């Protein structure tokens, strides 16, 4: 699953929020506790969410209760964009840790898009970035076995959320269950592969924290 800073490395998200507020769009600030549901599939769409701090997972839930994570997002990123074309949520969003967001009304953004071509273009760029992420996800699941996808996912999580300390990069708050939901496989499969990576001394982990040697994030010594 693609979790890199593809969105926030571009000025699109932050510049869009700054521009929208400068022209008078009202912004509502909301806070969520860890594991608190922000919205669920079928909820009426009312706004787009800009993450100020914290971490959010956007996912799908099957009738059997299986969860597939589409994105893990952090500060500077946006979610809920499908509210621009749908009156109901088609996915669910959950806070992975204490999270603060700014919410902007969908109707106001849609009206601005209809009358401002440059504003619409910036939104198109944002949506295309999300499509690129999902396209990479589909290709990865179609062409690579999970034993190859797991190391790539760990690297992306380390690059996006990692905390560097004394030669290691620590990924806090990502469990084996989270990895399974990102990869679309069972938790048992992830646990076996994690044991193998640990036996090779490529990673270490304890409850609530996965650590990767910092040198393995370099192109010449990639974990993958």
Who has greater pLDDT, 41 or 129?
41
Domain with CATH 1.10.10.10 in the chain: 145-217
In CATH terms, 145-217 corresponds, of 3.40.50.10680, 1.10.1040.10, 1.10.3720.10, 1.10.10.10, to 1.10.10.10
Which residues, 6+ apart, have CB-to-CB distance to 44 below 8 Å? 87, 88, 89
Q: What is the mean pLDDT of the chain?
A: 85
> What is the model's pLDDT at position 11?
44
Domain with CATH 2.60.120.10 in the chain: 12-142
What would the pLDDT profile of 178-199 be if each residue is shown by its tens digit?
999 999 999 999 999 999 999 9
What would the pLDDT profile of 107-150 be if each residue is shown by its tens digit?
888 888 888 888 888 888 888 888 888 888 888 888 999 999 99
pLDDT score of 14 more than 90: no
Exposure b/e, 58-93, CB count within 10 A at least 16 = b: bbeeeeeeebbbbbbbbbbbbbbbbbeeeeebebbb
Which of 152, 169, 118, 159 lies closest to 9 in space, CA to CA?
Answer: 159
Would you say 168 and 211 are in contact if contact means Cβ atoms under 8 Å apart? Answer: yes
> What is the model's pLDDT at position 33?
98
Q: Which CATH class is domain 12-142?
A: mainly beta
């Amino acid at each position: 699953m693609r979790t890199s800073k593809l969105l926030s490395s571009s000025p699109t998200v932050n510049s869009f929020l700054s521009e929208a507020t400068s022209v008078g769009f009202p912004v509502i600030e909301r806070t969520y506790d860890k594991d608190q549901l922000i919205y669920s599939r079928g909820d009426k769409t009312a706004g787009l969410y800009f993450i100020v701090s914290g971490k959010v997972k956007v996912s799908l839930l099957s009738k059997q209760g299986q969860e597939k994570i589409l994105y893990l997002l952090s500060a500077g990123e946006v979610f809920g964009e499908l509210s621009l074309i749908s009156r109901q949520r088609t996915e669910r969003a959950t806070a992975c840790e204490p999270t603060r967001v700014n919410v902007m009304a969908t109707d106001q953004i849609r009206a601005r898009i209809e009358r401002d071509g440059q504003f619409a273009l910036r939104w198109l760029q944002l949506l295309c970035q999300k499509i690129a992420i999902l396209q990479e996800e589909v290709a990865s699941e179609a062409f690579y076995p999970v034993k190859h996808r797991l190391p790539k996912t760990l690297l992306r999580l380390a690059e996006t959320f990692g905390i560097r300390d004394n030669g290691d990069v620590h990924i806090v708050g990502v469990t084996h269950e989270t990895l399974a939901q990102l990869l679309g496989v069972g938790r048992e499969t992830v646990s076996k592969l994690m044991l193998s990576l640990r036996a090779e001394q490529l990673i270490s982990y304890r409850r609530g924290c996965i650590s990767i040697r910092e040198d393995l994030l370099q192109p010449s010594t990639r974990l993958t």
